[in-house]
Chains A and B, each alone.
Chain A
Amino acid sequence: MARRRKRRVQSDVELNLAAMLDMAFQLLTFFILTFRPAPIEGQISLRLPPPQAVVVTKDAQKAGQDTKNTNPVQGVNTLTISVFADPQSGTIKSLNVGETQVPGLAALGGKLKEVFADPGNPFDQVIIQVSDTCRYDELMRVVDVCTRQVLPDGQKLSKLSFVEVPSG
Chain B
Amino acid sequence: MAGRLSQEVKSEPNLTPILDMVFQLITFFMLVINFKSAEMDLSLKLPVVGSARPVETHGQRGLLVLNIDHMGNLKNYGGVVQNVELYIAREAYASRLAAHIESDDKEAAQDLPTTIVIRADQATPFKMLNRVIKACQDNGFRKFALKAVNKEA
Which B residues touch A35, using CB under 8 A?
29, 32-33
Which B residues touch A141, using CB under 8 A?
47, 49
Neighbour of A90 across the interface among B32, B123, B145, B147, CB < 8 A? B123
* Distance, CA A129 to CA B123, complexed state (A): 18
* Distance, CA A49 to CA B142, complexed state (A): 6
A63 within 8 A of partner (CB): no
* Distance, CA A85 to CA B123, complexed state (A): 13
A-binding segment of B75-83, B94-102, B125-133 = B125-133
Q: Are B126 and A133 in contact (CB under 8 A)?
A: yes
Which A residues touch B32, using CB under 8 A?
35, 37
CB within 8 Å of A: which B30-82 residues: 30, 32-34, 36-37, 40, 42, 46-56
Which A residues touch B22, using CB under 8 A?
21, 24-25, 28
Q: How far is the CB of A37 from chain B (nearest CB, A)?
A: 8
A78 within 8 A of partner (CB): no
Count: A-B pairs, CB below 8 Å? 150
Which A residues touch B117, using CB under 8 A?
43
CB within 8 Å of B: which A36-57 residues: 36-50
B-binding segment of A65-73, A95-103, A113-121, A142-150 = A142-150
Which B residues touch A85, using CB under 8 A?
126
Q: Are B143 and A136 in contact (CB under 8 A)?
A: no
Decide yes or no: A43 and B125 within 8 Å by CB, A28-B22, A49-B137, A49-B142 being known contacts.
no
Which A residues touch B42, using CB under 8 A?
36, 39
Neighbour of A42 across the interface among B23, B40, B147, CB < 8 A? B147
Q: Are B19 and A144 in contact (CB under 8 A)?
A: no
Residue on B nearest A32 in the bound complex, by CB = B29
Secondary structure call for the A interface: mixed
Decide yes or no: A42 and B149 within 8 Å by CB, A48-B137, A136-B122, A162-B130 being known contacts.
yes
Give the B interface residue count (CB, 8 A): 53
A27 within 8 A of partner (CB): yes
Neighbour of A144 across the interface among B25, B40, B51, B145, CB < 8 A? B51
Neighbour of B147 across the interface among A27, A43, A47, A135, CB < 8 A? A43
Decide yes or no: A136 and B18 within 8 Å by CB, A42-B149, A45-B143 being known contacts.
no
Q: Are B124 and A135 in contact (CB under 8 A)?
A: yes
Q: Are B18 and A28 in contact (CB under 8 A)?
A: no
* Distance, CA A14 to CA B108, complexed state (A): 66
* Distance, CA A106 to CA B9, complexed state (A): 81
User: Measuring CB to CB, which residues of chain B are less than 8 angstroms from any residue of chain A?
Assistant: 15-16, 18-19, 22-23, 25-26, 29-30, 32-34, 36-37, 40, 42, 46-56, 115, 117, 119-127, 129-130, 133, 137-138, 142-150
User: Measuring CB to CB, which residues of chain A are less than 8 angstroms from any residue of chain B?
Assistant: 17-18, 20-21, 24-25, 27-28, 31-32, 34-50, 85, 90, 130-137, 139-141, 143-144, 147-148, 162, 164
A-B contact list, 6 entries, CB within 8 Å: A20-B19, A41-B119, A44-B49, A47-B144, A135-B123, A162-B130
